[in-house]
Amino acid sequence: MMYQYWFLRLAGVGNAKKRSLIEAFGSSEAVYKATRGDLRSYGLLEEGQIQRILEQGKAWDLEGEYRKFCMTGQSLVTLEQKEYPSMLAKVFDAPYGLHFLGELPPENANMVAIVGSRNCSAYGQKMAQDLAKELGRRGYWVISGMARGIDAYAHQGCLDGGGKTVAVLGSGADVCYPRSNQVLYGRIQERGCVLSEYAAGTPPLARQFPARNRIISGMARWVVVVEAREKSGSLITIDYALEQGKDVYAVPGRMTDPLSRGCNGLIAQGAGIITSVEQFISNIEEIEFLGISSHLSCQEEIFLLEKEELLVYSCFDFYPKNIDTVLVESGLELLTLLSIIMNLCDKGYLKEIFKNEYIKCK
């Protein structure tokens, strides 16, 4: 862990490059002990980065610095450990390491991200709390950013439902921000964890919050927006979620309400619409079941499809996908595509989850 903590704090080398170095050398300890020639051999680093690694390796007090970290009361998990959140590990620029207080979610945790406006309405508060409470009651983990408004209500709702929750901070994990959430900050550590990619004591600087959103979406299987303005910070999380291939849902609102324009816009672009708590949970449970059971019994049947059927089938996945997207990917005529989709639905290979959106069933 001393070597991993050194590698985490290594300046001038980004997360993606650190991942590549671990894959090449096998461990942070091997990187620490590498010579200049070793570091050059893989062609991964610029000369300046090589010099930083060598200099920071010599200057770093391995035992002393790690001892100081342990005295903060935080724990550390890195990409070198099996406890690192597996969904997040798939993200290209996932943090090499995370500082946390509390209990990390287990490997099999089903996690739903709930995000939204800091200045939410009473309607948004109720939707966030009700949704998170029922998710918590059913054993789902809820992840958010512990900001004022929707984030805080989502954490509270999940805890009130007896569930567990994760707060991803834009400060050090040992820095409660905002201070008004001090009680919530303590409750989350008892039933989940607070975590951060930033070092202990790091203040909540504005530039750090957009980056933490990739962790929120990266750890989740589903991402829900409850209330968001047209140009809301919550939509940054959605951008990350879409890049990561996550399922995105939105709670609709009145057309005249500025806090609903972001959500309504997402729905217009193809996001899943949440019409009730039960409907949403039924949808994700059905998708989860189909995703788990998909190739166990019918893998060999896929090869019996006609050439064009196989082409269309391969364009879909176990999360909802719109016909317009498949039309571009397949290069087929619209009427031909629709006919093939109907055939695949009749054969049990595809299922329409939302209007013009389908998932694989096998």
Predicted confidence (pLDDT) at residue 327 exceeds the cutoff of 80: yes
Distance CA 276, CA 278 (A): 5
Q: Which residues contact 297 (CB under 8 A, 6 or more apart)?
A: none
**Residues of the chain with pLDDT > 70: what percent?**
94
- The model's pLDDT over 275-320, given as tens digits with 9 standing for 90+, comes to 888 889 888 887 665 554 333 334 444 445 677 888 888 888 766 7
Distance CA 231, CA 273 (A): 19
Distance CA 214, CA 50 (A): 28
pLDDT of residue 285: 82
pLDDT of residue 164: 97
Enter the tokens of residue 204.
Answer: 């909540």
Q: What is the domain class of 295-360 according to CATH?
A: mainly alpha
Distance CA 274, CA 270 (A): 12
| Distance (Å) of CA 81 to CA 44, 69, 96, 325 | 22, 18, 10, 37
Distance CA 174, CA 211 (A): 18
Token pair 């806090």: residue:
259
Q: How many Cβ atoms are within 10 Å of 301's Cβ, its own excluded?
A: 12
Alpha helices in the chain (DSSP H): 2-9, 15-25, 28-32, 36-41, 47-59, 62-70, 86-89, 122-137, 150-160, 182-190, 208-219, 234-243, 261-268, 277-298, 307-315, 323-330, 334-346
pLDDT of residue 300: 41
DSSP-derived 3-state class of residue 305 = coil
- The model's pLDDT over 7-65, given as tens digits with 9 standing for 90+, comes to 999 999 999 999 999 999 999 999 999 999 999 998 999 999 999 999 999 999 999 99
Distance CA 7, CA 320 (A): 39
| Distance (Å) of CA 318 to CA 56, 128, 222, 313 | 45, 26, 12, 11
Enter the tokens of residue 245.
Answer: 């291939």
Crossing angle for the helix pair 323-330 and 307-315, to the nearest 10 degrees = 130
Q: Which residues contact 232 (CB under 8 A, 6 or more apart)?
A: 117, 262
CATH number assigned to the domain with residue range 1-68, chosen from the 4 options 1.10.150, 2.30.110, 1.10.357, 1.10.260: 1.10.150
pLDDT category of residue 362 using cuts at 50, 70 and 90: low
Token pair 């499809």: residue:
305
Indicate the fold that domain 111-275 takes in CATH.
Answer: Rossmann fold (3.40.50)
CA dihedral (311, 312, 315, 316) positive or negative: negative
pLDDT of residue 296: 33
pLDDT of residue 255: 85
Domain boundaries, the chain: 1-68, 111-275, 295-360
Comparing C-alpha atoms, which of 198, 250, 240, 190 is closest to residue 219?
240
